[in-house]
Structure 1
């Protein structure tokens, strides 16, 4: 089944990321503040950056940083907030908002101003018929379809992709190395993932269209939570949608199946921000974060947060002190 067959999937116009779980209201989420001020700003270039002197110039006031409701996104939001505060910008945080549908609504109604995003998930949410997969093409696709008043800044090298994961025992027993290898077995297997994975174009529907997979059952699990890994290890699900930076993959000797048809597009971490909150100070601070983030150091920080149980704000502080 070719990648272009995903074009038929019009059902998922309101799909969240890989990276996002259930609902929530920004007004009900956790909030904290730090004091500061901001400087001049600029206009948008093709790569999502801005030039000095354009929209958002001058003091942008308080910037409300939001996050989706899974640990990695909370960590990234804490990094963004601390970097902006260090630069003298007044910041507050609204964490664990929920899925993409919820936090995109918050960005559009102004209840939050900035959120860590993932290019592929955002691009697919904005256009379910997306067929491009490379980092540059996916970024361009996302930028082209952004709602008015929002913009993407510089993408980072750090990438956290959706993946299908099985235990090493299952991989050995069924001879699995890629998603395509699941085709003769899927009818006997239970697939687990976040609720949104059942309807997103690169989820259950995409697996059916692109790889011809018809699983026996889909079991809804929390995004980015230990429940998914536990369900896989305990045999409650046979295949699971797990983010590639999850330290539990290595800790449990799990096998990430290759994606030869590129169902899962590039997922570079990128700041998504209200244009009116962009000035030179804000952009420079967030671009420095993007310059410093890599998949490797993001995965290391996730070990600290998820495995060791450290406070995401403290891990964010340590990252900034060491890298900026």
Structure 2
């Protein structure tokens, strides 16, 4: 049994070492039953000492980007870990995935929720479009950086393009190939990030030969309102964005499967799992009960109804019997 746990104080370590030494100097008993009972008693005492004296890991720092779905994932992890006795703190990072990833590499943050597709393209700099079949390779590459992907949900197409229903009816738009044929008549609304990403607007323009009349650059949280008030005709949008439901928008099918699939999940520093191996099973519990539709509905409530992400996450976990 290894008692070299860095979270035990030095006094306790000395006590445990003393007890280990003491066990070795116990007089030899000829009666095998007595020896067996003594061995069991001593082993039990050592286990109790370890359980009482070695406190669980100090506060687990969960980093998160400025993204509603990822914030919900972070809140669910925080709530579930706290319920199991792990203090946690959520730290918002506005500078994007690269900064967040570097913080975990440097040990300043222990874990973060992310999308596998973005990890594939933005962190690993892979040129091939991410598909769920690449998850194993993604995990192997992260392991080389002393990181683990855990609690990964089933993959789905993360992004698509949306238009107003009147635009779809006017041009008979059902998929992105239809849109490409009339793109020269339409204005695209996009964030600078989407324009710079190789697996987003740039990829669609290349594969579908799209050529929009003009492009208006704006923040992603302005997309819906801009499309609604007709200042733009086309916007990139999460395929499971709950705000699309019961709206006057139409999402277009990626008929050439140009856009990457992706899955929400958690990236953890190896050291975190080495210190507390049971953390993995705790996070896997989340992926076992949540679906893309669940995440979509929670996203809608936080964005459209302005509900608090932590309250929404708590209610969901309670509905699944994971919190009291």
TM-score (norm: length of structure 2): 0.76
Q: After superposition, what is the alpha-carbon deviation per residue over 1:211-256, rounded to whole angstroms, capped at 9, x for unaligned?
A: 1112233322323x2x110111111111101112222212323111
Mapped contact 2:157–2:259 kept (Cα < 8 A):
no
Mapped contact 1:127–1:145 kept (Cα < 8 A):
no
Mark the CA change 1:157 to 1:214 in structure 2 (over 3 Å): closer, same or farther.
Answer: same
Q: After superposition, what is the alpha-carbon deviation per residue over 1:295-316, rounded to whole angstroms, capped at 9, x for unaligned?
A: 1211221232122211111111
**SS where residue 242 of structure 1 aligns?**
strand
Deviation at residue 76 of structure 1 after TM alignment: 1.2
Instruction: Measure the CA separation in 2 of the matches of 1:308 and 1:93.
Output: 22
Mapped contact 1:120–1:138 kept (Cα < 8 A):
no
When you count helix as a share of all residues, which structure comes out higher? Answer: 2
Deviation at residue 160 of structure 1 after TM alignment: 6.7
Mark the CA change 1:158 to 1:206 in structure 2 (over 3 Å): closer, same or farther.
Answer: closer
TM-score (norm: length of structure 1): 0.76
Instruction: Measure the CA separation in 1 of the matches of 2:103 and 2:215.
Output: 29
1:127 equivalent among 125, 135, 155 = 125
Q: After superposition, what is the alpha-carbon deviation per residue over 1:129-160, rounded to whole angstroms, capped at 9, x for unaligned?
A: 12352x2x131242243261221013113757
Within a 5 Å distance, the mapping from 1:60-79 to structure 2 comes to 60-79=57-76
Structure 2 runs not aligned, ≥5 long: 1-6, 8-54
1:254 corresponds in structure 2 to 249
2:228 corresponds in structure 1 to 233
Mark the CA change 1:175 to 1:244 in structure 2 (over 3 Å): closer, same or farther.
Answer: same
1:276 equivalent among 258, 271, 283 = 271
Deviation at residue 106 of structure 1 after TM alignment: 2.0
Instruction: Measure the CA separation in 2 of the matches of 1:108 and 1:219.
Output: 36
* Largest Rg, 1 or 2: 2
Mark the CA change 1:221 to 1:101 in structure 2 (over 3 Å): closer, same or farther.
Answer: farther
Structure 1 runs not aligned, ≥5 long: 1-36, 38-57
Corresponding pairs, count: 265
**SS where residue 145 of structure 1 aligns?**
helix
**SS where residue 95 of structure 1 aligns?**
strand
Q: Which runs of 4+ in 1 moved over 6 A?
A: none
Within a 5 Å distance, the mapping from 1:1-324 to structure 2 comes to 59-125=56-122, 126-133=124-131, 135=132, 137-146=133-142, 148-157=145-154, 159=156, 161-223=158-220, 225=221, 227-278=222-273, 279-323=276-320, 324=322
Deviation at residue 107 of structure 1 after TM alignment: 2.0
Instruction: Measure the CA separation in 2 of the matches of 1:76 and 1:100.
Output: 15
Bigger relative CO (Cα 8 Å, ≥ 6 apart): 1
Mark the CA change 1:290 to 1:160 in structure 2 (over 3 Å): closer, same or farther.
Answer: farther
Q: After superposition, what is the alpha-carbon deviation per residue over 1:84-131, rounded to whole angstroms, capped at 9, x for unaligned?
A: 111111211102534222222222222222111111222122234123
Mark the CA change 1:312 to 1:86 in structure 2 (over 3 Å): closer, same or farther.
Answer: same
